[in-house]
Amino acid sequence: MRALLMVLLLAVLPARAAMDITRELEAPDHVAPGQPVRVAITFWTDSWFNPPPQWPDFKIENGSLLTTPLPNQLLSRQKNGISWSGVRLERQITAWDQGVLLMPAVEITLTSPNQPPITVQLPELKKEVVWPEGIEQPDRFLPASNLTLTQKITQYHASKDDKLHAGDVVERTVTVKANGIVATQIPQLLYAIPGTETQRLTPVNTMLKTGRGEIEGAQREETLRYLPSQAGTITIPPLKLRWWDTANQRWQVAQLPGSTLQVAEARAAGSESALRGTTDEGKWRIATMISAVVLMALLLWFTRRPLRRSFRYLHHVWQRFWNPVPLPKLTPTKRGER
C-alpha cells in the first residue's frame, strides 16, 4: 500500500527538466576589421522550453553585435543516453579594429516555472583580427566573399527623337551586390558636386537572401541625375571600387566604364507648342465627343415613337390650359318684364 502511494506521489509531482546552454564562434582562419562573423547561442533541454529562449546579454571587447536578423534553428543531440532538444540563436558580430575580438567568460542563469534556476558557465571566446597588407583607406575598407558592380545609364527626352537636348535628363544607376557584408559597409560611389547640374537620389539598401530565407549579403543602389541646362558635353566618369576578397585573401578591383554625351541646344518654343498640339490628349477628346453624339442620335431614333406621343400629349394640355371655356349666362336679362 505504501509503495502504491509513493508511485502515485511521483506521478503527480512536476517533472524536473534538465537545461543547458552553449556558445560558439563561427569565424574563418583570417578575420579583418569590419568582416562579420557569427556567434551562436544554443539552449538545450530534455523537456520543453517555458518561456522561449531569448538572446542573453554578455560583454564584447573590440566589437559589437549587428542588428541583421538571422533565422533560428532547431537541433537535437544525444548525451549520456538522453535525447536533448535545442534552439540555436545566431547573431553577427564585427570587430572595430586590429587586435583581439574577445567575449569574456560569463555566467548565464536559466529559469523555468516550477524549476529551480540553473547557472551555466560559458567559457571565453576570442579571435585575432588583422588588417590585410596594402590597406589604404580604413574608412572605405570593404571585406566581402564575392562582389559584383553594374550600372545602367538612361536618357529621358522631352520629345520623341533620340537626340539629347538641354532640358533633358540623364540618369546613372550603379548597383553593388556583395556577399558576407551588411549594406552600411558599402561606401558611397556617386557624388553630386556642388555648383554642377547634378542631383543625387537617396540610396536604396536591401538584404540578399537565399532560397531558405537566410541572409547572405547586401545590395546598394545609387542614382545620380545629370540635368544639363545648356548645350555642351556631359562627362560620366569611370568608377573603381577596391575591395578585400575574404574567400581568396587578396585585393580585387571592380570597375565601371564612363562615357561622354553631347548635349544640343534647347528646343525652340514653337516646336514645344507644336508638340503640345499633337499630343494624344486632343485625339481622345475628339473621339469622345463623336461617340457621345452618335449615342445620342441612336437614343433619339429608338425612342422616337414614345417621344412623339409625349409631345402630342403636352401640346394638348397646353392648348386646354390657354383656351378659355365660355360659361353659361347666369344673370337674367329680362328682370322688368312681368
Same domain, 255 and 162: yes
Q: Which of 129, 151, 176 is the last residue of a domain?
A: 129
Same domain, 124 and 244: no
Same domain, 171 and 121: no
CATH code for the domain in which residue 123 is found: 2.60.40
* φ/ψ (deg, to 5) at 256: -130, 135
Write down the pTM of the prediction.
Answer: 0.65
Same domain, 90 and 180: no
pLDDT of residue 211 exceeding 80:
no
Same domain, 161 and 67: no
pLDDT digits (tens, 9 = 90+) for 114-152: 677 888 888 889 899 999 998 888 888 899 999 999 999
Same domain, 161 and 233: yes
Which set of grid coordinates corresponds to residue 55? Answer: 538572446
Same domain, 143 and 100: no
Residue 331 counted as domain residue: no
- What range does the domain containing 62 cover? 18-129
DSSP 4: H
45 and 74 Cβ atoms separated by less than 8 Å? no
How far apart CA 202 and CA 80 sit, in angstroms, is: 57
Same domain, 77 and 172: no
- The number of folded domains in the chain is 2
Same domain, 97 and 151: no
Residue 333 counted as domain residue: no
pLDDT digits (tens, 9 = 90+) for 4-35: 445 444 444 444 567 888 889 888 888 899 88
How far apart CA 172 and CA 261 sit, in angstroms, is: 12
Q: Give the C-alpha distances (Å, rounded to integers) separating 161 from 86, 157, 164, 219.
A: 66, 8, 8, 35
Element (H, E) at 299: helix 280-302
pLDDT of residue 167 exceeding 80:
yes
* φ/ψ (deg, to 5) at 28: -70, 180
Residue 314 counted as domain residue: no
